[in-house]
Chain A
Amino acid sequence: MRGHLPPIFANATGFLPLLPLEVVARRLLSNAMAARPSFAARLGEYAGRTFAIDPVDCPFVFLIKPEDGRTELKVVRRTVAQGYDARIAATLVVLIGMIDGTYDGDALFFSRDLMIEGDTEAVLALRNAIENAELDPSTVLGLPKSLQGPVNRGTRMLFVQLRRLLDAPEETGPNSGAFA
């Protein structure tokens, strides 16, 4: 898997409490779900599944149950992550790139930059629902329309540099540098 954060990051965050991260992550997920009300409908019966989103270069795992109106999110240490139906694992920058449409999930799977296990149907449903959500940084951050353009552009530039620096898979997609 490509795009690993430096090990010093994992070592440093390994000692930090997870509650602040969980509060922030819940807020971001809540913004995304509010902005894309059809998300749970596209997930259909799989909205009740628990997904382990596993950034392999971090010491924690996000456990998400994206049910409409009752979305749950927990951040737990990888060593105690359990009770999930499906696990999606990749480096953090790659997972973020899947959310914003920078990467194609199948291509990441082919290049072994993405690993899935558990309920394959649920994983596919989640992937397709995320694809259709067209999430961008400003939507996830819950920003007003006036800030969306500059924030999205700035974040994109930042991630282009970060992915390059971390030797992550080459970007494609509607927002990639080649076509932006």
Chain B
Amino acid sequence: MTTPLELVCPAGTPAGLRTAVDAGAHSIYCGYRDETNARNFPGLNFDRAEMRDAVAYSHDHGAKILIALNTFMRAGSTDLWKRGVDDAVAAGADALILADVGLVEYARKAHPKQRLHLSVQAAAATPEAIAFYRDRFGISRVVLPRVLTVEEIARLTANAAPCETEVFVFGGLCVMAEGRCMLSSYATGKSPNMTGVCSPPSHVSYREESDALVACVGGFTVERFERGEPAGYPTLCKGRFEAQGAVSHLFEDPVSLNAVELLPRLAEIGVTAFKIEGRQRGRAYISTVVRAFRKAIDAMAVGDKVDFGELRALTEGQRDTTGAYKKAWR
């Protein structure tokens, strides 16, 4: 292991950021309070002054800050995204996480020395795509989609060098190729790709029905959790539907990713950074998950056995999976 492993942690609020830093995050990713970032939920994210304070707090504590501007620019209205890039650079971001190829080009031209990461939203999952971003724009790191196996990640990482790879190791599990999923758009007209929200809360409603919890998105009933049954996010990809006479989770069950047991292998194949999902989660989640993963990474660094810990209470549907990484997924 030549490069130190980096634990990349989420922060949806300034308090969440301080919690992540204090819990041992090597770097924190966060975004502005607008549609430039893919977690554009009410009450979440940072205004310009908060972001400058966040950078100062992170740097004072030896952590890096990665600012996500990872939605796709709207035709005819690109200023919001470009201004976001300029402000993030001025705030002192250690890297920008970008998805839109036009915004990547703008950032590279306007700020030639700024470190750029390619968001998972760009869905760069082939050696050719990664090489394009690396060679054309000097992308330093690519965040890989959660639809690859560990062996596929190994081959991509080898091909991507000197561009680093970052993989998700815990949290909400997008089962689609991110940046290309249209399910939320189909049901609500809004998506993480363009407006920064999957299953936007403005289109989500819950009701109790004979002790069951019924979840609706854009007027479609996507799930009915019976009494005592663990619940999940109200997303179409994890909804329960009737098809060919049977009711089931057609795409994926409500479940979270937990790849802690794969950390040694992911490090062995050259992955640089481990990412925890959850900018929309609270301080309780951030502190618990960040501490658990930091402990695992520190143990690996000195050759100790990794303690897998118990994080299931924080997971969607109260269950976890290694997802596509082990190819045991569905």
A143 to B202 CA separation, bound complex (whole angstroms): 38
- B70 within 8 Å of A by Cβ? no
Interface contact B285-A120, CB-CB below 8 Å: no
- A11 within 8 Å of B by Cβ? no
Interface contact A128-B229, CB-CB below 8 Å: no
Q: How far is the CB of A101 from chain B (nearest CB, A)?
A: 5
List B contacts of A179 (CB < 8 A): 287-288, 291
**What is the interface of chain A mostly: helix, strand, loop, or mixed?**
helix
Kindly identify, within residues 141 to 180 of chain A, every residue whose CB is under 8 Å from any CB belonging to chain B.
Answer: 169-174, 176, 179
- A3 within 8 Å of B by Cβ? no
Q: Pick the contact of B230 from A104, A111, A116, A172 — CB < 8 Å?
A: A111
Known pairs A110-B318, A125-B42; A174 contacts B22 (CB<8 A): yes
A115 to B227 CA separation, bound complex (whole angstroms): 12
Known pairs A101-B282, A110-B230, A110-B316; A129 contacts B291 (CB<8 A): no
List B contacts of A132 (CB < 8 A): 13-16, 43
Q: Pick the contact of A43 from B43, B280, B318 — CB < 8 Å?
A: B43
- B148 within 8 Å of A by Cβ? no
- A131 within 8 Å of B by Cβ? yes
List B contacts of A73 (CB < 8 A): none
Known pairs A111-B230, A172-B288; A124 contacts B282 (CB<8 A): no
Kindly identify, within residues 110 to 140 of chain A, every residue whose CB is under 8 Å from any CB belonging to chain B.
Answer: 110-112, 115-117, 120-129, 131-134
- A103 within 8 Å of B by Cβ? yes
- A9 within 8 Å of B by Cβ? no
A125 to B225 CA separation, bound complex (whole angstroms): 24
Interface contact B42-A174, CB-CB below 8 Å: no
Interface contact A117-B208, CB-CB below 8 Å: yes
List A contacts of B281 (CB < 8 A): 104, 106
- A42 within 8 Å of B by Cβ? yes
Q: How far is the CB of A134 from chain B (nearest CB, A)?
A: 5
- B284 within 8 Å of A by Cβ? yes
Interface contact B282-A120, CB-CB below 8 Å: no
Interface contact A103-B43, CB-CB below 8 Å: no
Q: How large is the interface on A (under 10, 10 to 19, 20 to 34, 35 or more residues)?
A: 35 or more
Q: How far is the CB of A161 from chain B (nearest CB, A)?
A: 19
Total CB contacts across the A-B interface at under 8 A: 130
- B264 within 8 Å of A by Cβ? no
A14 to B254 CA separation, bound complex (whole angstroms): 39
Which residue of A has the minimal Cβ distance to B17? A132
Interface contact B313-A121, CB-CB below 8 Å: no
Q: How far is the CB of B38 from chain A (nearest CB, A)?
A: 16
Interface contact A103-B284, CB-CB below 8 Å: yes
- B205 within 8 Å of A by Cβ? yes
List B contacts of A133 (CB < 8 A): 15
Q: Pick the contact of A122 from B23, B42, B287, B317 — CB < 8 Å?
A: B42
Which residue of A has the minimal Cβ distance to B19? A174
Q: How far is the CB of B174 from chain A (nearest CB, A)?
A: 16
Which residue of B has the minimal Cβ distance to A101? B283
Known pairs A104-B281, A125-B43, A131-B282; A112 contacts B225 (CB<8 A): yes
List B contacts of A112 (CB < 8 A): 213, 225, 228-231
Kindly identify, within residues 266 to 298 of chain B, every residue whose CB is under 8 Å from any CB belonging to chain A.
Answer: 280-285, 287-288, 291
List A contacts of B228 (CB < 8 A): 112
A114 to B173 CA separation, bound complex (whole angstroms): 22
List A contacts of B23 (CB < 8 A): 174
A100 to B96 CA separation, bound complex (whole angstroms): 32
Residue contacts A-B, CB under 8 angstroms, 9 given: A107-B285, A107-B313, A112-B213, A112-B230, A121-B201, A128-B280, A132-B16, A134-B15, A174-B23
Q: A104-B282, A117-B207, A120-B206 are in contact. List 11 more A-B contacts (CB 8 A).
A: A102-B284, A103-B284, A106-B281, A106-B314, A107-B285, A112-B230, A124-B201, A127-B282, A128-B13, A131-B13, A179-B291
